[in-house]
Chains A and B, each alone.
Chain A
Amino acid sequence: MTEIKILKEAGSFAENKDIAKRIREKKIMPALEAGNPLILDFEGVDSSTQSFIHVLISELIRTNGPNVLDEISFKNCNTTVEKIIKIVVYYMQDTI
């Protein structure tokens, strides 16, 4: 089990796409490739942008298909962050 704390990486307003890309490439993808279930912990993250969440997870869905979502848990999301994640998850599956 790999747990990634988004607050530590991106701050309370998670908006920097370069950081999102770094998290995906350096932490998320290696964990998934190793077969480790993944927890993305958003504790302390007050808000995010759709762009940040898109860069964080869209390529995972595009590359691996929607079943990759079975390997990822989104933890401690407030309402705003949860809704943004749902939007990104939804439109990504619409376009693959």
Chain B
Amino acid sequence: MFFYMKIHLPNSAFLGNIDPFIESFDSTDSSKLEITANKKWISIHPVILSMVASIGLSIQDKSRINCEDFEATSKHYLERMGLFDFLGVESGMQITEHEPAGRFIPLTQITNSEQQTRFITEMIPLLHLQPEQAEPIKYVISELVRNVLDHARTTQGALVCAQFYKKSNTIRIGVADVGIGVYSTIRASHRVSDDMEAIRKALQPGITGTTSKEGGTELNAGAGLFFIKSIAKVNRDFFIIYSGNAMFKLLKTPASSKRITLHSDPFDDRSSKKDNLPNFSGTVVGIDISLNRNQAFDYLLDLIRDTYFDRIKIKKKEKFKRAKFT
């Protein structure tokens, strides 16, 4: 059963300080969705927009959505990102001009792989990125959206948006769905006791909800989320996944740590974990990608390969076939 919620859009909520936002929303009132906002300023990560839009979209009867008239001058940002359209709320605002500095991907609903491919092709010009900067962003969105299409079991699909932040030179990405959540997906094939344990499994390479066998099936390797967490880790950025009552947050790797090590078990990463949060039946994933520190994608792949190598017994290596490249 899906619970409607009360949501307050705060003055500021990004991945580093998103916890109060999540802790504050009320998922116990199943009668309607109420949205309120900070009166002066609203500065929020795209992942919050994706989450709120996915909830709003799932409510068929839009009269059960009560969105107060926002007073904050930054409410235009929410209009520009398309939030009110997904909520079915008339904002009364007119956005006629594309801001010169506006580098963003507005809220987009993706329900099938053709839409996904088209979206990825069309989104990069909106962010005005160099090809090497675009590579991890395309990768992250492709894998996260496909996860929703493969596992979430919702006809609503994925809600995606992203925003470039000039001051920090960072792209922030949010993907959300109101599907069955990580626990239900993982539990289908693995023994897990709660939402956090399911998230832990989902982030480990080789674990997928579609089979109990390590290495996955012909269609799912169980490596997608591990790759995405690794992109954040290598770039020393935040990554969060929130589903059910639990949220795992990969914390920034300090600049003082010169060597980056990827961990198969996310609990070995520098992270925060909360498992008593208000219930969100679907899944929310947010990631930041700092363009200043955007490590070459090839370097990330080297680290991932090394992580796999570490998992393999030396004696087996000798028997391994290599791919032939010509």
Contact = CB atoms under 8 A, between A and B. Distances in A.
Interface in B303-326: 304-305, 308-309, 311-312, 316, 319-326
A72 B301 contact: no
Interface of B: 113, 116-117, 120-121, 131, 135, 138-139, 142-143, 146, 205-206, 213-216, 218-221, 223-224, 227, 297-298, 301-302, 304-305, 308-309, 311-312, 316, 319-326
Best-surrounded residue of B143, B205, B216, B323 (most CB of chain A within 10 A): B323
Interface of A: 11, 13, 15-18, 21, 39, 46-47, 49-51, 54-55, 58-59, 62, 66-67, 69-70, 72-75, 77, 79-80, 82-96
3 cross-chain pairs, A with B, having the tightest CB-CB distances, nearest first: A95-B215, A59-B218, A83-B301
Best-surrounded residue of A21, A51, A84 (most CB of chain B within 10 A): A51
Nearest to A83: B301
B143 to A, nearest CB: 6
25 contacts: A13-B138, A15-B117, A15-B120, A15-B138, A16-B113, A46-B135, A49-B139, A49-B143, A50-B227, A51-B142, A51-B220, A54-B220, A58-B218, A58-B221, A62-B218, A69-B322, A77-B325, A80-B298, A80-B301, A84-B301, A89-B323, A90-B309, A91-B215, A94-B215, A95-B206
A70 B116 contact: no
A69 B218 contact: no
Q: Classify the interface of chain B: helix, strand, loop or mixed.
A: helix
A51 B222 CA distance: 9
Nearest to A52: B142
Contact of B304 (A74, A82, A87, A96): A87
Contacts of A77: 325
A29 B143 CA distance: 25
B224 A50 contact: yes
Contacts of B323: 69, 72, 74, 85-86, 89
Contacts of A84: 301
A62 B297 CA distance: 28
A75 B135 contact: no
Given A13-B120, A15-B142, A51-B223, 7 more contacts: A16-B113, A49-B139, A54-B220, A87-B301, A87-B305, A89-B322, A90-B305
Contacts of A74: 323-326
A82 B121 CA distance: 22
B135 A18 contact: no
Contacts of B205: 91
A94 to B, nearest CB: 5
Contacts of B319: 66
Contact of B324 (A67, A72, A87, A90): A72
A55 B309 CA distance: 21
Contacts of B309: 90
